[in-house]
């Protein structure tokens, strides 16, 4: 009972007022935005931080000897500190800025993959990965001769831990690269257990935190992870900025991904030597304004607190599952014990695209399709699904609007 009394709560009206876009009309109806898992909306503080930087203190970073460049470098490096704190990284030099989670994964595949994974060794992924955690490994396989193993999921949409262990058991897996939360099924994977298992068999572990980092506090040290990747735009920050975290000793042993300015120590016409991490992996002018925006987004969610965010989203998810499963002919995919605010579903006799179009006409934005997880669609035996996803600004009322909207869809197709 004291749990209930002390459960952290959000002032949802105040939060919604922080997001200018939520007042928009779509097809003359109030926007009900249930597609935050694809990309989240931005609070005023993020917008202001980027505009303010452009208006008052902008120059290139790490290059100028002048006041503006020093201020901008401070703001950019300040964002790195914020990311380090968000993930509880041991050191700020473990945070690499990229364009997005996809680039972070490609960086690891290219740099770590070609130097630390020998031809014939394997990368293990799961059946519920986003294409961003499949295709780079296909490319590495074709270029470098690694093999790819796929760990099964159960019908409930959870990682089959026995299968993970079976596929690690011969000790030939160099890297377990796996989602921390599925963008289709909402499943949280048992990251700490997976890390322990990977390490027992001599593999490193990469967690794709694109979805997970948005909804709960992440502590890469407590998880005992080796790599962690995410995108800023799903965490209420701008697009164009992503993060790779890796243990410093691993980064020290990795060659650059791209060459150019900012990533070097010395350059002559004959050769160049590389800077230390993180700069070794940040060739060229980085996404300065976007990093500053991401820093503001991290400040924003940290001030609200992940306890409150997680509690709010747990409530929304439970409510969503209850009201959606009450709709006859609607099937929710996955039934994981531990899940975040993503619900994928099918509706008997109505294709997901028709569901999405008819909801859109009612001002309700959901995603429909294969969600960049085509192999998972095959595993689940569907061509496509509709997906509603929740954020800290989502309300129970919006989920009720979704349920009412789906009933109208059924009438049209009745």
Partner 1 sequence: MSDNIADLYQSLIMERTKAPHHAGRLSAFDGDAEGDNPMCGDRTHLWIRRAGGKLAAIAHETRGCAITTAASDLMGDAVLGKTEAEIYALADAFESLISTGTAPATPDLADLRALGGVHEYRSRHRCATLPWQALRAALKDQSHG
Ligand X SMILES: Cc1ncc(COP(=O)(O)O)c(C=O)c1O
Binding partner of 101, given partner 1, ligand X, none, CB within 5-8 angstroms per partner class: ligand X
Longest dimension (CA), the chain: 72
| CB 41, min distance to ligand X, A | 15
Binding partner of 368, given partner 1, ligand X, none, CB within 5-8 angstroms per partner class: partner 1
Task: Note whether 343 and 317 are within 8 A (CB).
Answer: yes
Of residues 207 through 226, those in contact with ligand X by CB under 6 A are 208, 210-211
Binding partner of 353, given partner 1, ligand X, none, CB within 5-8 angstroms per partner class: partner 1
| CB 378, min distance to partner 1, A | 10
Cross-strand bridge partners of residue 228 = 207, 245
Q: In angstroms, what CA-CA distances link 18 with 10, 13, 33, 42, 379?
A: 13, 9, 15, 8, 40
| CB 361, min distance to partner 1, A | 4
Distance between CA atoms of 4 and 409, rounded to whole angstroms? 37
Question: Does 291 qualify as catalytic in the annotation?
Answer: no
Q: In the complex with partner 1, which residue's Cβ is closer, 195 or 352? A: 352
Q: In the complex with partner 1, which residue's Cβ is closer, 198 or 402? A: 402
Q: Which helix (H) or strand (E) holds 368?
A: strand 367-369
Check binding of 132 to ligand X (CB under 6 A): yes
Q: Compute how many residues bind ligand X; rule: CB under 6 A.
A: 12
Q: In angstroms, what CA-CA distances link 97 with 59, 113, 225, 293, 391?
A: 18, 19, 18, 13, 24
Q: In the complex with ligand X, which residue's Cβ is closer, 151 or 401? A: 151
Task: Note whether 277 and 93 are within 8 A (CB).
Answer: yes
Task: Please compute, for residue 279, the number of CA atoms within 13 A of its CA located in the half-sphere on the CB side.
Answer: 17
Q: Out of 372, 374, 375, 400, which one is annotated catalytic? A: 372
| CB 289, min distance to partner 1, A | 29
Task: Note whether 232 and 243 are within 8 A (CB).
Answer: yes
Site string for ligand X, 358-387 (x = CB under 6 A): --------------x---------------
Q: In the complex with ligand X, which residue's Cβ is closer, 113 or 240? A: 240
Phi-psi region of 212 (alpha: psi -120 to 50; beta: other; left: phi over 0): alpha
Structure tokens at 39: 């990309």
Binding partner of 384, given ligand X, partner 1, none, CB within 5-8 angstroms per partner class: partner 1
Handedness of CA 195, 196, 199, 201 (dihedral sign): negative
Q: In the complex with partner 1, which residue's Cβ is closer, 297 or 386? A: 386
* Among the residue ranges 55-63, 140-148, 203-211, 254-262, the one whose residues contact ligand X (CB under 6 A): 203-211
Binding partner of 413, given partner 1, ligand X, none, CB within 5-8 angstroms per partner class: partner 1
Of residues 66 through 125, those in contact with ligand X by CB under 6 A are 100-102
The alpha carbon of 283 is separated from its chain's Cα centroid by a whole number of angstroms, namely 23
Q: Which residues bind partner 1 (CB under 8 A)?
A: 27-28, 350-354, 357-358, 361-362, 368-370, 374, 377, 383-384, 408, 412-413
Distance between CA atoms of 189 and 182, rounded to whole angstroms? 8
* R_g (Cα) of the chain, nearest Å: 22
User: Which residues carry out catalysis?
Assistant: 372
Residues that bind ligand X (CB under 6 A): 100-102, 130, 132, 179, 183, 208, 210-211, 231, 372
């Amino acid at each position: 009972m004291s749990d209930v009394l002390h459960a952290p709560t959000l002032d949802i009206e105040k939060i919604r007022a922080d997001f200018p876009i939520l007042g928009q009309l779509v097809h003359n109806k109030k926007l009900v935005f249930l597609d935050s898992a694809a990309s989240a909306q931005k609070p005023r503080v993020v917008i202001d931080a980027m505009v303010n930087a452009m208006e008052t203190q902008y120059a290139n970073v790490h290059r100028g000897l002048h006041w503006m460049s020093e201020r901008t470098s401070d703001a950019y490096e300040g964002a790195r500190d914020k990311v380090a704190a968000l993930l509880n990284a041991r050191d700020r030099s473990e945070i690499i800025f990229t364009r997005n989670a996809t680039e972070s994964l490609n960086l690891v595949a290219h740099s770590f993959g070609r130097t630390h994974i020998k031809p014939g060794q394997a990368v293990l992924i799961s059946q519920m990965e986003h294409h961003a955690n499949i295709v780079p490994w296909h490319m590495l396989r074709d270029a470098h001769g690694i093999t790819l193993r796929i760990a099964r999921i159960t019908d409930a949409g959870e990682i089959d831990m026995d299968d993970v262990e079976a596929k690690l058991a011969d000790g030939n897996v160099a890297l377990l690269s796996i989602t921390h939360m599925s963008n289709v099924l909402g499943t949280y994977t048992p990251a700490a257990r997976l890390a322990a298992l990977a390490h027992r068999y001599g593999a490193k572990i990469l967690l794709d935190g694109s979805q997970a980092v948005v909804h709960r506090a992440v502590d890469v040290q407590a998880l005992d992870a080796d790599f962690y990747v995410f995108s800023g735009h799903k965490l209420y920050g701008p697009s164009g900025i992503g993060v790779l975290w890796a243990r410093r000793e691993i980064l020290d042993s990795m060659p650059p991904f791209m060459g150019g300015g900012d990533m070097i120590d010395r350059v002559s016409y004959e050769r160049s030597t590389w800077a230390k991490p993180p700069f070794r992996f940040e060739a060229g002018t980085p996404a300065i304004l976007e990093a500053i925006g991401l820093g503001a987004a991290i400040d924003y969610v940290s001030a609200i607190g992940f306890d409150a965010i997680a509690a709010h989203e747990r409530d929304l998810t439970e409510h969503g599952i209850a009201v959606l499963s009450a709709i006859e002919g609607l099937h929710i995919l996955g039934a994981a014990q531990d899940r975040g605010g993503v619900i994928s579903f099918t509706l008997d006799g109505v294709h997901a695209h028709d569901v999405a179009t008819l909801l859109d006409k009612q001002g309700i934005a959901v995603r429909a399709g294969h969600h960049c997880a085509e192999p998972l669609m095959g595993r689940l035996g569907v061509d496509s699904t509709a997906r509603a996803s929740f954020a800290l600004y989502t309300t129970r009322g919006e989920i009720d609007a979704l349920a009412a909207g789906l009933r109208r869809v059924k009438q049209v197709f009745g």
